[in-house]
């Protein structure tokens, strides 16, 4: 028997092999089965478990998201953050049941409605507002001091833009005027200034996180405080991934992967992180003004300016030995400061607590990531990061931000 005949006989003797199942089908199959099972479970209304809810009253959880006052009217936006539908049946304003209309009679989970209450309020007076549900539950929506909500027209948007420039762009630009001083400072003082920058960024991260958690502390819709940490983790991982991609794209060596970032890129990361933080800050300012709870005045603007001026110093400190041109400095200043104006516009028009908390979390994660990237630059000639000088700089940065933050009472 020839070799070809032996090969043909061996192949005929082997059992027929089926072609392998595509990999994508192996991954998609379980997802389809899960969807089918969940769909049937929902369609059949949880067979066998319906008796568990018998005699249990529906759970009503409603969060007040916005209050606006116009002549003779009070507008309140609320959202159902519970698992059961909720209907607002009555509204009590300071022991008076006021007539009202609403955009949605019944709120399904996560749905919202706007209540328009007919009530002749008096400017400066406090009001105890209670929203009474169809089951008798009461949701408080108190007004500490009634004030006319601003009209959202062209002049209003212009004012929000100007406010963002006052508290964002101008302070950052003034802080960047420390560039000549940073350039002439000796190496030891530069490490102190870098430590100061780390302290500034660490304070911003902590402050933004606390402020964001406070915003949604009593609001469980869209995850409550979880959205803050989701935003922080997202920003941190996105910046880390972007930095790793840029390093790979520039074909850096393995040793270069562990080295400190180039000063120009580090300054850009600092500007981006501060810009994201200022976006959340502007969001808070715009929303506070939109509901009449922010008293605009020279003292408040001065407080924000002093507080945010240190952010400009944080941007220029890594550039001590490699100063950029004026155009690049101007671009870095806009990246860091201009988001405050955008945040003020967003906060004054489409404010939503969960969105504000998420953006504040994004800012916190961004500045935290940049603070970590700064640590390699603190090393002295012996390779130590936390020396007495750098530790003093970090503590000074925390102290400066805390002290200037006391000037801002928005």
pLDDT band at 159 (very low <50, low <70, confident <90, very high): confident
Residues 102, 212, single domain; the answer is no
Residues 167, 311, single domain; the answer is yes
One-character DSSP codes across 275-324: HHHHHHHHHHHHHHHHTT-----HHHHHHHHHHHHHHHHHHHGGGSSS--
- Look at residues 85, 116, 140 and tell me which one is the last residue of a structural domain: 140
Q: What is the pLDDT of residue 351?
A: 67
User: Cα-flanking dihedrals φ and ψ of residue 142, to 5°?
Assistant: -75, 150
Q: What is the pLDDT of residue 402?
A: 85
Residues 104, 252, single domain; the answer is no
112: helix, strand or coil: strand
Count of residues in the chain:
410
Residue 368 has pLDDT above 50, yes or no: yes
State CA 15 to chain mean position distance: 61
* Backbone Cα Rg of the chain: 29
Residue 30 placed within a domain:
no
Q: What is the mean pLDDT of residues 110-138?
A: 91
Residues 131, 175, single domain; the answer is no
Residue 31 placed within a domain:
no
Structurally, how many domains does the chain consist of?
2
Residues 226, 360, single domain; the answer is yes
Which has more confidence, 139 or 306? 139
- State the first-to-last Cα distance of the chain, in angstroms, to the nearest integer: 97
Residue 318 placed within a domain:
yes
Residue 53 placed within a domain:
no
Residues 124, 158, single domain; the answer is no
Residues 176, 279, single domain; the answer is yes
Residues 163, 297, single domain; the answer is yes
Residues 159, 196, single domain; the answer is yes
Residue 303 has pLDDT above 80, yes or no: no
Structure tokens given for 71: 């002549």
Lowest mean per-residue pLDDT among 8-12, 145-149, 216-220: 8-12
- Look at residues 89, 116, 140 and tell me which one is the last residue of a structural domain: 140
Mean pLDDT, the chain, whole residue set: 80
Q: What is the pLDDT of residue 356?
A: 79
Residues 102, 186, single domain; the answer is no
pLDDT band at 220 (very low <50, low <70, confident <90, very high): low
Task: Count CB-CB contacts under 10 A for residue 106.
Answer: 13
Residues 168, 264, single domain; the answer is yes
Return the closest-CA partner of residue 193 out of 206, 178, 207, 172: 178
Residue 33 placed within a domain:
no
Residue 42 placed within a domain:
no
Q: What is the pLDDT of residue 349?
A: 75
Percentage, residues of the chain above pLDDT 70: 83
pLDDT band at 255 (very low <50, low <70, confident <90, very high): very low
CATH of residue 99: 2.60.40.10
Residue 310 placed within a domain:
yes
Residue 4 placed within a domain:
no
- Look at residues 106, 140, 174 and tell me which one is the last residue of a structural domain: 140
Burial class (CB in 10 A: 0-12, 13-18, 19+), 136: exposed
Largest CA distance in the chain: 110
Angstrom distance (rounded) from CA 273 to CA 371: 9
Domain interval for residue 290: 154-405
Residues 288, 314, single domain; the answer is yes
């Amino acid at each position: 028997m020839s070799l070809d005949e032996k090969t043909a006989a061996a192949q005929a003797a082997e059992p027929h092999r089926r072609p392998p199942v595509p990999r994508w089908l192996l991954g998609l199959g379980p997802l389809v089965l899960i969807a089918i099972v969940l769909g049937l479970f929902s369609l059949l209304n949880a067979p066998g478990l319906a008796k568990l809810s018998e005699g249990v009253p529906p759970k009503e959880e409603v969060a007040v998201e916005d209050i606006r006052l116009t002549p003779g009217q009070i507008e309140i936006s609320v959202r159902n953050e519970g698992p059961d539908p909720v209907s607002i049946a009555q509204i009590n304003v300071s022991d008076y049941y006021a007539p009202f209309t609403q955009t949605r009679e019944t709120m399904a989970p996560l749905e919202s409605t706007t209540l328009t209450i007919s009530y002749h309020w008096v400017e400066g007076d406090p009001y105890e507002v209670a929203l009474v549900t169809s089951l008798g539950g009461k949701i408080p929506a108190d007004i500490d001091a009634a004030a006319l909500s601003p009209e959202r027209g062209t002049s209003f948007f212009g004012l929000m833009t100007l406010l963002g420039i006052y508290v964002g762009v101008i302070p950052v630009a003034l802080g960047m005027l420390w560039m000549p001083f940073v350039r002439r400072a000796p190496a030891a003082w530069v490490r102190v200034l870098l430590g100061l920058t780390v302290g500034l960024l660490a304070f911003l991260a902590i402050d933004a996180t606390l402020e964001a958690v406070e915003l949604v502390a009593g609001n469980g819709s869209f995850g409550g405080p979880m959205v803050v940490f989701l935003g922080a983790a997202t920003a941190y991982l996105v910046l880390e991934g972007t930095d790793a991609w840029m390093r790979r794209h520039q074909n850096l060596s393995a040793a270069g992967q562990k080295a400190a970032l180039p000063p120009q890129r580090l300054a850009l990361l600092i500007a981006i992180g501060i810009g994201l933080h200022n976006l959340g800050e502007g969001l808070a300012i715009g929303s506070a003004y939109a509901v009449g709870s922010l008293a605009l005045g020279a003292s408040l603007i001065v407080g924000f300016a002093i507080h945010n001026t240190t952010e400009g110093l944080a941007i220029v400190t890594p550039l001590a030995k490699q100063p950029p041109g004026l155009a690049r400095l101007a671009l870095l200043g806009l990246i860091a400061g201009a988001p405050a104006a955008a945040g003020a516009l967003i906060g004054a028009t489409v404010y939503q607590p969960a969105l504000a908390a998420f953006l504040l979390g994004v800012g916190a994660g961004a500045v935290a990531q940049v603070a970590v990237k700064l640590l390699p630059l603190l090393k002295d000639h012996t390779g130590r990061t936390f020396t007495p000088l750098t530790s003093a700089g970090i503590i000074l940065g925390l102290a400066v931000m805390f002290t200037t933050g006391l000037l801002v009472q928005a």
